[in-house]
Chains A and B, each alone.
Chain A
């Protein structure tokens, strides 16, 4: 077997790292002798991989002894000594170069394989929905346990984000940049260090980590943070601290002004141009940029009606409705179950965006895809209002791979039948925040650099980044 096996062992890279990890799956065990005997050289990368595997195994062991349920490496006690014992022969493994890379992947793979085993122990029922299980994250809802490096302004911001006081892609982006400005202002470079090397890794990173623990970062925040890190790295070492800090803060101000404030003005103007007398505009939930466009069109004296479609649990549309009614606009408010009835009167649908994916798909508040689909069915044009800062090079085929899961308890109405849903067996609640609208349903995207079809998202994204960096 050993000498004849390589054809099967060689082409499958999955088999190579298998012995290196403590919690290998059972079916891979059969291959271990085969891979272990077909060589005797020991490369540096291999040694490294081995040390790493040993460390991981030790850590897993320690966790197990503590009695905690280790989330990542949760080995089955029975397997532990067995794999430990196999380390000797395994070290003679031949394919060293590719190994170090693969070993790094193993914890992920291992955790997925271990997951079904863990609930086997008698414990509380898993209330997460299987399809979305990779998205569940515990949200930080208090400042307890936050790292001491986190700036008070960021601490406050994190909490505001986690309870939706600051909500909406743009608002969160601006608030984050403002908070980071304060972080930079209060920063002093320690001696023997330079700002461009120290600031990002030691000061900004903990802030970002904390913020993303409160609520996952939005795409636009990711884009802005990437930009900020680039700006920091561009700071010359010889520039004095005060000057560098000032230039960074100024750069942030310029960024907010150009990419958001001015962009919003341009978009609101182009969108208002698209609104004609007699139009009936439908919008979903609340988008600050849609609100601005509607108000602008109203101020220009256009006569049109607005239908706001809204949904639980956030009811963001109520705020929009209130704001529009206040300035005397003709507004109709309905929940998403009234959508197919109301779509008939509509002439245009204006939607906000959380992000625009590179395949032209719209990533936005959950329910948006439904509105776009109904509009498309009824042959009504769907217009997306989106700043180019929200464009991403990523693509999305569905709303499962990339999404954000909000706490399921938000869906529960106090005093309603679901109040004790946690105790009901086999009942799971799922509260995803976003969905993906196919590009076919979108007629136009209004951005600050013009009106484009969804197919041009990657082009604009590229241009936006070129001018940026």
Chain B
């Protein structure tokens, strides 16, 4: 294994395409989140790598993570996973952990797998914490296709079925351009007997008076406790604040990302949301239109990622995200408990020190 030397090993790692692996993992398991998929991809990389020293391994993981990040249009969520994994590697590959490198590597791999399985279980725990926020007779407003929120509401609905007296209604904000991802959640909830109303994004302010609480998911939770989420979350948070309704975020703690945006335009990614034009032309090219109308199932993702582009396209309005500042977030429901936004920073400091 170790006899392969440097040059063949480089060729070997070239043949392993981390971006492809990442997409394959996302496709195989619809329940997988981006950070976890990134970590799983890195674990596969380690399995296949022929690195024999600690430094080599770290270097390999770093370059591959950077490569992966550069190939994905919105790498915020994914970078939470790669950063966490690198951090974990550095702490577990310390010189103090003696023994030969191979045992350390095996240990790393098995722990990495444990991490992935725990991350998947995290969603259930969030649902268990979060369902207590849904009181009897309340109306919950939500938005986007967050799987955590889906699980949370599903859990709350099940509680009402199994003899609990939690009867609640859901107002689902649906973006026309990507309604299909929400439709799956709406369908599942209605199947459980939860009355669901779907409204357009323009109707949020109108509907806010009937709402008791807002729960949304997040792509990433940033250092100051704010969240990065599907475009439209920020305005919902603002409206909730103006109406005095609690705004909760359900997110796994592996989505905590070392990023500190100061505002909407400081996310470190390019987004084509505001485009000034003088010619009256079609907003979307046929290709993009097809993409916009896709259903966000596995095949669609494949189509999107397999466009063969070398450099990632900036996020279009459909895929764009916005930043919700911590002042608008009442609490974050994570698998390790319900946190205030300021606790996120402490959590991140404790991980990174």
Residues of B within 8 A of A459 (CB): 345-346, 349
Nearest opposing residue in chain A for B223, CB measure: A451
Question: Is A450 in contact with B349, judged by CB distance below 8 angstroms?
Answer: yes
The DSSP consensus for interface residues of chain B is loop
Flag whether A235 is at the interface (Cβ < 8 A).
Answer: no
Please tell me if B326 contacts chain A, counting CB pairs below 8 Å.
yes
Q: Which A residues are within 8 Å of any B CB, using their own CB?
A: 274, 276, 348, 381, 383, 443-444, 449-453, 455-456, 459-460, 463
B263 lies within 8 A of chain A by Cβ: yes
Q: Select one of A383, A453, A460, A463 contacting B223, CB under 8 A.
A: A453
Checking B258, B262, B345 against A456 with a beta-carbon cut-off of 8 angstroms, the contacting residue is B345
Which residues of chain B come closer than 8 Å to A274, judged between CB atoms? 262
In whole angstroms, what is the CA distance A274 to B262 when docked?
A: 9
Provide the bound-state CA to CA distance between A460 and B353, in Å.
10
> Footprint of A on B, CB under 8 Å?
223-225, 258, 260, 262-263, 266, 326, 342, 345-346, 349, 352-353
Instruction: Tell me, in angstroms, the Cα distance from A185 to B349 when the chains sit together.
Output: 39
Q: Which residues of B contact A452 (CB under 8 A)?
A: 223-224, 345, 349
Asked if B262 and A348 sit within 8 Å, CB to CB, the answer is yes
Query: Which residues of A sit under 8 angstroms from B263, Cβ to Cβ?
Result: 381
CA distance A444 to B353 in the complex (A): 19
Complex contact A444–B349 (CB within 8 A): no
Please give the distance in Å from A393's CB to the nearest CB on chain B.
16
B345 and A455 form a contact (CB under 8 A): yes
List, in ascending order, chain A residues with CB within 8 A of B353's CB: 449, 463
Q: Which residues of A contact B260 (CB under 8 A)?
A: 444, 451
Given known A-B contacts A453-B224, A453-B326, A463-B353, A443 and B262 have beta carbons under 8 A apart: yes
Q: List 26 A-B contacts (CB under 8 A).
A: A381-B263, A443-B224, A443-B262, A444-B224, A444-B262, A449-B349, A450-B223, A450-B349, A450-B352, A451-B223, A451-B260, A452-B223, A452-B224, A452-B349, A453-B224, A453-B326, A453-B342, A453-B345, A455-B345, A456-B342, A456-B345, A456-B349, A459-B345, A459-B349, A463-B349, A463-B353
Nearest A-chain residue to B342, judged by Cβ: A455
CB distance from B86 to the nearest CB of A (A): 16
Residues of chain A contacted by B342 (CB below 8 angstroms): 453, 455-456
Which residues of the partner chain B approach A276 to less than 8 Å between Cβ atoms? Answer: 266
Residue ID in chain B nearest A453 by CB atoms: B224
Q: Which residue of A lies closest to B262 (CB)?
A: A381
B225 touches A453 (CB 8 A): yes
CB-CB under 8 A from A381, the residues of chain B are 262-263
Q: A276-B266, A459-B345, A463-B353 are in contact. List 10 more A-B contacts (CB 8 A).
A: A444-B260, A444-B262, A449-B349, A450-B258, A453-B224, A453-B345, A456-B345, A459-B349, A460-B349, A463-B349
Complex: chain B residue closest to A451, CB-CB: B260
Bound-complex Cα distance A452 to B353 (A): 13
Output the nearest chain B residue to A463 by Cβ-Cβ distance.
B353
In whole angstroms, what is the CA distance A76 to B57 when docked? Answer: 81
In the complex, what residues of B have CB within 8 A of residue A460's CB? 349
CB-nearest residue of chain A relative to B260? A451
The smallest C-beta distance from B227 to any residue of chain A, in angstroms, reads: 14
Shortest beta-carbon distance, B316 to chain A, in Å?
22
Q: Which 3 A-B pairs have the closest CB atoms?
A: A455-B342, A453-B224, A381-B262
In the assembled complex, the Cα of A451 lies from the Cα of B225 at a distance in Å of 12
- Residues of B near A449 (CB, < 8 A) are 349, 353
Of residues A456, A460, A463, which shows the largest number of chain B Cβ atoms within 10 Å of its Cβ?
Answer: A456
Q: Given the complex of chains A and B, what is the CA–CA distance between A463 and B346 in angstroms?
A: 11
Closest chain A residue to B263, Cβ basis: A381
Nearest CB on B from A191, distance (A): 45
Min Cβ gap B259→A in Å is 9
Cβ-closest chain A residue relative to B352: A450
Instruction: Looking at the assembled complex, report how far the CB atom of A440 sits from the nearest CB atom of chain B, in whole angstroms.
Output: 8
Question: Cβ of B223: which chain A residues have Cβ within 8 Å of it?
Answer: 450-453
Distance to closest chain A CB from B90 (angstroms):
16
A222 to B155, CA, bound (A): 54
In the complex, A435 Cα to B352 Cα: how many Å? Answer: 33
A463: B residues at CB distance < 8 A: 349, 353
**Cβ-defined contact, B352 with A456, below 8 A:** no
Which residues of the other chain, B, contact A453 by a CB distance below 8 angstroms? 223-225, 326, 342, 345
Bound-state Cα–Cα, A455 to B266, Å: 21
Instruction: Give chain A residues whose Cβ lies under 8 Å from the Cβ of B258.
Output: 450
A148 to chain B, nearest CB (A): 46
For the complex, give the distance between the alpha carbons of A274 and B352 in Å.
21
Cα–Cα distance between A274 and B326 once the two chains are bound (Å)? 19
Q: A348–B353 Cα gap in the complex (Å)?
A: 28
Q: Given the complex, which residues of A lie within 8 Å of B224, measured CB to CB?
A: 443-444, 452-453
